[in-house]
Amino acid sequence: MYNKIYERKEFMIFQVKEGYVVYNTKKSFQEGHTHLKHFEAAKTAIDLVINKKVPKSTDGYYLSSLIRISDDDKYISKINELIESREQKGKKDKYYNSRYKIAKRSI
């Protein structure tokens, strides 16, 4: 299938054409794998799931990746709470400097 390049406990990392696949062998492949672009991000995901730590400064895709490879319901619910709280806050408005004026050029 793919080249396994890393293994820790029940987790494996495979190198694929465009990045890496992290797979939890305790789950079916369809439900227990995720795709990540960088090897270090894949290793970190495994460490976070094993140690049941919820990262605060990552995007939604990475958080959903942690959910896919985890089999701990309490850990998954903590991540879901973080995702829901971020969705409730919504996106921040772009910064607008009211003192800055764009000079019009004469043609």
How much is the CA Rg of the chain, to the nearest whole Å? 19
The answer, as to whether pTM is greater than 0.85, is: no
pLDDT, tens only, 21-47: 999 999 999 999 999 999 999 999 999
The burial class, CB within 10 Å (0-12 / 13-18 / 19+), for 39 is middle
Name beta bridge partners: 14: 4, 21
CA distance 24 to 26: 5
Task: Return the domain boundaries, the chain.
Answer: 3-89
**Residue 106: predicted pLDDT:** 52
